[in-house]
Amino acid sequence: MFSKCAGKECAMDREYSDFLTFLRIEKRASKHTVSSYEKDIAHFLKYIDQRWNISAAEVSYVHIREYLTELYAEKLARTTVARKISSLRSFYTYLLREESVVENPLTLIHVPRKGKRLPSFFYEEEMLQLFDSVDTETDLGKRNSALLELFYATGIRVGECIKLDVKDFDIYLETLLVKGKGGKERYVPVGSFAAEALTVYINESRPRLKPQDDALFLNYTGKRLTARGIQKILNKLSVDASLTSRMSPHILRHTFATHLLNEGADLRTVQELLGHTDLAATQIYTHVTKDRLREVYRNTHPRA
């Protein structure tokens, strides 16, 4: 990797090669991972050789900081910079273990935080388009309508949905007993549209699907619907509705939370409905609603 090979540089060249072997043999890293480490470290070794004419063993915290500045100057994505620093951290941890260096120059270097990805969601008009496109004349159509309505009305996870039994839905109170992560249970209110769709499905369509167990949602053979089966149903519904965006149970969950906050629901209530243990997990939706607030402000305020 070095333009010259003498003494210390040759030793570090071997350490670099040994590190890649260590990743393959001891860490059992995939070819893709090893290739990624190889490129990141090779890029760094070339940089320090050309910039300062030093070996990896002579690198200090100051050198790493300047290298970071170079990476930012190249306008690389934060995820790319984070990956390169992670590769170097692992490399120097290995060198420290092998006593090839006396300290890790990356100890005080903090990996840049990855930018938060805002959740995808459907607008209200798109949801209406979805509901209108469902064929409710067939038994499976009634099931699909109830499924879609329930996801939007409650924001439940797909894993929670496939665990539902008929007894978990209280027709009279219009509530749903949801078995969440870690065995935690919560009662979630079900809106009138979803409650009506569920009642029709349970009373009319479900018996004709010849249930083989107590599952709320059944496939065409009468068995409990799986997560994969639900995704296939949602894929078909999005095609039938001519939607350009991808649909999934999680996007419907995002839609549920976003629409509640847009209409003035408080964060704690949404946290409880979603079954989030930590409020921070719910707070990501406030970014979406802030964008919505700005849009409304720009469109309605006389001096916006």
Residues that are catalytic:
157, 181, 250, 253, 276, 285
Phi/psi at 3 (nearest 5 deg)?
-75, -20
Helix axes 267-274 and 279-300, enclosed angle (nearest 10): 130
Question: What are 189's strand-pairing partners?
Answer: 175
Contact 254, 143 (CB under 8 A): no
Type of residue numbered 249:
P
Name every residue whose Cβ is closer than 8 Å to that of residue 33 and which is 6 or more positions away in sequence.
23
Inter-residue contact 186 to 180 (CB < 8 Å): yes
Give the separation between CA 147 and CA 215, rounded to whole angstroms. 13
